[in-house]
Structure 1
Amino acid sequence: MHYRPFHWQLSQRASRRGRLKLWQVAVSLLLLLLLGALHQQLSHWDGLVEPLPAAGMDNMPAAEVGAFARLWLEYGYNAWLAERIPVRRGLLDMRDDRCLEYSYPKLSALMEPRCPQQRSRQAFRAYVQRYIHGAARIFHLEEHVGLVRARRLAADEAKLETLIFLDAHVEVSEGWLEPLLAAIWEDQFTLATPQLDRLDEETLEYVRVVERRGLFDWSLRRREVPLTWQQIKQLPRPFATAVLRTSVFAINAEWFNKLAHLDMELNAPAAAELELSFKVWRIGGRVLQVPCSRVAHLQPSDLGYMQRYGDLQQMAREHFSSYKRLTEIWLSEPRYKSVVYQHQPQILQAHLPNVSKLQELIKRVDFESFDWYLQHVATDLLRHFPLLPRIDLAHGTLRPAHLPSHCLTADLQTRRIHLQPCNAVQQLTQNWTLSSLNDLRLGVDICAEVQPTQYVALSACHTLGGRQSWRLDMDKNYLISNRHCLEFNVRMRVYVRRCDYMNQRQMWFFEHTNVAAIKTNDL
């Protein structure tokens, strides 16, 4: 790809492209510890610099079982164990052996990022200044501002020329930093991301995963697909990815500030991830995934913890608004917009202020079109995700195997969900859709949501997952929400409970099931 110069880029530095020495690159590490923090007692940090063995689960004291359950419910993963693992535990070298053949200047090691509790701020500051860098600058925001705004604030405060963003749910491994900086050194208009491995939510074990690249589907969700054959042959060298994951990434500071401040109103993290990918590629930069840089990321499968961050309906309004901005500004051709709105009708209904000035600015800056992006960057997106209306995973009546004459039924007045005899007259309240957005819908915008009591009731759809997340297990006929299975009791009320293959009240059958769509949706 030709990286054309443009007046909005860093013209003063363009002449130095490719001539910067890696050890001259100054790094500002922005530990963005505001979203989904790992639970950690920082008051015990001082002195924990030698690798120590991880705490085990086999010898959990009986008195700790309650704390274990409470922390899991609050955080969505084994936070009890996270409290007992040292900040700088020993990890095996996760890199491909061929990575060791590459030469990078030696950089100081970094700790695993953890979130400071209010009472541990001083301990956190003391630890960073003693063991990382004495001149480190630390900022604590007094209120939750969201991940996207936090990145902008951090970038504004940074004084050096390279930014590295890390979310809280990550743990870095040996040699992770140098390859990211090398990618930027080769071309400063590069956004570099590591290979994100996985932290097991139960054991907190570091799990190495196979390299994949990012795309998106027409509901605008980030999706991952296999590497091309050419990329596989060139591993472990960096490879281009059409859509990045922003859990960890490195970028030139001045360039990031130009890109990030172009639209200050788009604040939903997932939409911002797509938007940043579009901006980098369509202005002449590149997004590289760097397999020799390996960082583990913890993503709880139980999304109920999202309730901690506030009212999901309020979050949904900002979510839909941000996605509408993304669609109208960056996927502006009618044929693309129409399919997005078919996949997510709530986006079309969202409020959008006048964005004509922003659209004119983008034209003046001379961003490439979305068609160009599909032709030169996301070249196989339409093969993986054809430009078609939304295809739902299952629809029709939903019946328990143990009581097939009854159907899942909604009461629109009380918002309760229960079982009643199947009746064609009640089609409006017995006709369910398991959408490709992984929610269980009644009509267009009413969803089944797990309540704190574990009973299931109706709520406005927000597409953010959480307690509205549902998945159909085709092998066991389970309908699963956040690791728990849908079940009914003797009063015909429905609720969720831990899955039990011996429990026939947890087996359900949809009237119509699209097996191919389910397999595609699981990519």
Structure 2
Amino acid sequence: MIASLIRSRKRSKRIVAYAVFLFGFLAIWCSFSLALVFLSDFYFGEKPIQSQKSSKQIGRSNFHVVVGHYNGNLPEEKKRNLTSDELNANLYSPHDDWGEGGTGVSHLTPEQQKRADSTFAVNQFNLLVSDGISVRRSLPEIRKPSCRNITYPEDLPTTSVIIVYHNEAYSTLLRTVWSVIDRSPKHLLKEIILVDDFSDREFLRYPKLDESIKPIPTDIKIIRSKERVGLIRARMMGAQEAQGDVLTFLDSHCECTKGWLEPLLTRIKLNRKAVPCPVIDIINDNTFQYQKGIEMFRGGFNWNLQFRWYGMPSSMAKQHLLDPTGPIESPTMAGGLFSIDRNYFEELGEYDPGMDIWGGENLEMSFRIWQCGGRVEILPCSHVGHVFRKSSPHDFPGKSSGKVLNANLLRVAEVWMDEWKYYFYKIAPQAYRMRPSIDVSERVELRKTLNCKSFKWYLQNVFKDHFLPTPLDKFGRISNSKYCAAYRPGDTGPKNHRLLGAPCTMGLDLWQLWLYTGDHRLRTDEHLCLTVVQLLHTSSDWKIQLKECAGFDTEYWDFKPNIGRFKNRKTGLCLASPDIFDPSKDEFNPPILDKCRNSDEKQKWTITEMPWLPEHI
């Protein structure tokens, strides 16, 4: 009886102990969850409005779109079903509730949808929806709470806002203008300068546009070019007429949010050589829904010198958490939206006048600013929306777009990239072939006059997580006896390449080029690293993936040339070719992870280096 009672009491104590343990675990878990929620809100601020469903969404994983600058002439194939009256019609007629609070418009009648589809190609966005939204629509509060509590100096410099357009839609152009006026302190807005790059739409020509903006209680100047000059030269025309202390450049399909201007001007007041950019929010090209952009991104570029958004390195992200309202150093800027001290803009050499139309000017200016003593920054407390389009209506009148872009990028490489220009020429031989016909001597002289630093300095101090080769790196193909490690573009953009195997090619195949870096990472174009992910948190199974480089321990591989083995530091497993091959296909299964074995032929790899320095061009 007594023994039974003792056993019963022991069972009760165990039950109580289990209950206490369970309660404690739940309490800790809840506290942890609440902390995560708090930190998430603190760091990211209010959550963006949820996107309406559409055929293609722009999300975090593929937020790589280069900010488009302005509309070009509509290509002939897109004009076929559009009459002159349709192209020149200004059908702005706002509905009371459309788009208010930054909401999107997705529920159209069949007749409205038909009209929207028929005119979409004019500007490569939903013109019917844009014309139905007020040019003074309300927007949500985008800034995080910590930004809203900042008090800015009263004696900030004034700004001239310069907006270049060519055949822009009336509604998006006026919405840009009104958002500047309604959300900028009056004493800081010196003027708005509209530069018309030879538009042929009647509603943009004199006197129609002039009459429509005449009642606006702000100093607005319209400068009209007598011929197509392109974005670069049109912006220079606007800058030459500006009277403000600061030049602020905006694209012609933007919407400024509350508090967008003060952070930009404050940074320039503190450092006249700082060139701040707002966080670029997304305006959906179909619904015109306003969605908060990602504050953790900064500008970079790929091997082809195309602008890209990349995430911060993990060390930089941790540092930013200490001051989430502070400026974010950005190696490059998108180029469509930024502010710069007017005198500094002139001292720095304005835009390169040898560049044509648009393309590459943002990289050229970014390199010049950094290498010549300035700074490019993104300010988390400044937000401006931009209409992101899935394709561009731009053209290059009378010229090949490829030739214009290659010529512009060649100028960037020749003047600013030192020996790394040869790497660009290896990737883009079509640009190299244009080299004898392009004179950059004046810009080279400007670089000497400004006493600018080297491109090596830029890579070591600004774009530290770059993926260009250095003397400590091995650049080339990675192969074994059966195939080459390769990758292909994914369905959702350049940051989502698919890892695979492929027959080794003899020529220049970008999809088979790798960089084995001095810090033991396997990198590719588009800031991607060969890394490993755990299939289940408690599992010992690992899978190889291509993911954006972040400096995690899963990205590091030790390579022993004498046995040709890549060993992952995190898992202790080795890179191996798969068992199954189909020689009839041009793609094979991707490499796998396997237990390391010195005698395993599937784990023996060779790095065949591809020379890129001058003697091999």
TM-score by length of 2: 0.53
Alignment of 1:99-498 (within 5 A): 99-104=147-152, 111-112=178-179, 117-121=201-205, 122-133=207-218, 135-211=219-295, 212-227=297-312, 228=316, 229-261=318-350, 263-267=352-356, 269-303=358-392, 305-306=393-394, 308-310=395-397, 314-333=400-419, 336-351=420-435, 352-382=437-467, 388=475, 393-394=487-488
**Larger deviation, residues 249-258 vs 36-45:** 36-45
What CA distance in whole angstroms lies between the structure 2 residues aligned with 1:436 and 1:79?
A: 42
Equivalent AA in structure 1 for residue 432 of structure 2: L
Letter in 2 for 1:294: H
CA displacement at 1:140 relative to structure 2: 2.5
Shift of 1:232: 3.5
- 1:510 and 1:365 mapped to 2: Cα distance? 55
Structure-2 separation of matches of 1:300 and 1:271? 19
Structure 1 residues 34, 198: CA separation in 2 closer, same or farther (over 3 Å shift)?
closer
Note the residue ranges of structure 1 that are not aligned, 5 or more in a row. Answer: 1-31, 396-426, 438-508, 517-523
Report the more deviating stretch, 36-45 or 380-389: 36-45
Contact map agreement 2:93 2:132 (CA 8 A) in 1: no
Structure 2 unaligned spans of 5+ = 1-67, 75-86, 160-175, 181-193, 478-484, 490-504, 514-583, 592-617
**Judging changes above 3 Å, is the alpha-carbon distance between structure 1 residues 36 and 89 closer, same or farther for their aligned structure 2 residues?**
farther
2:282/2:292 contact within 8 Å kept? yes
Of structures 1 and 2, the larger Rg is shown by 2
SS at match of 2:418: coil
Cα distance in 1 for partners of 2:366, 2:388 equals 21
Structure 2 counterpart SS, 1:111: helix
Rounded to whole Å, the distance in 2 between the matches of 1:387 and 1:128 is 59
Task: Please say if residues 94 and 132 of structure 2, whose CA atoms lie closer than 8 Å, have aligned partners that are also in contact.
Answer: no
1:153-208 C-alpha deviation (Å, 9 max, x unpaired): 11111122211110113211111111111111111111110000111122110111
Cα distance, 1:118 vs structure 2: 2.7
Rounded Cα–Cα distance in structure 2 between residues aligned with 1:388 and 1:172: 44
* SS of residue paired to 1:382: coil
Does the CA-based 8 Å contact 1:394-1:512 persist in structure 2?
no
Give SS of 2:364's match.
helix
Any idea what the Cα deviations from partners look like across 1:47-79, whole Å, max 9, x if unmatched?
A: 99x99577834242x433432112223332222
One-letter amino acid of the structure 2 residue matched with residue 101 of structure 1: N
Q: CA deviation at 1:269?
A: 3.1
- Aligned equivalents of 2:290 and 2:234: distance in 1? 27
> 1:37 & 1:90 partners in 2: Cα distance?
31
Q: Secondary structure at the match of 2:279?
A: strand
Kindly tell me: are residues 241 and 70 of structure 1, through their superposed partners in 2, closer, same or farther at Cα, counting changes over 3 Å? same
1:34–1:147 Cα contact (<8 Å) kept: yes
Contact 1:194 1:289 in 2 (8 A): yes
Q: Distance in 1 between matches of 2:289 and 2:225?
A: 31
Q: Describe the superposition over 1:338-360 as per-residue Cα deviations: whole angstroms up to 9, x where unpaired.
A: 22112212111124333345323
The residue that corresponds to 1:413 in the other structure is none
Structure 1 residue aligned with 2:107, among 40, 43, 58? 58
Query: Does the CA contact (< 8 Å) of 2:136 and 2:179 recur in 1?
Result: yes
- Tell me how far 1:256 sits from its aligned partner: 1.4
TM-score normalised to structure 1 length: 0.62
- Sequence identity (%): 25
> 1:282 Cα deviation (Å)?
1.2
CA distance in 2, matches of 1:210, 1:285: 24
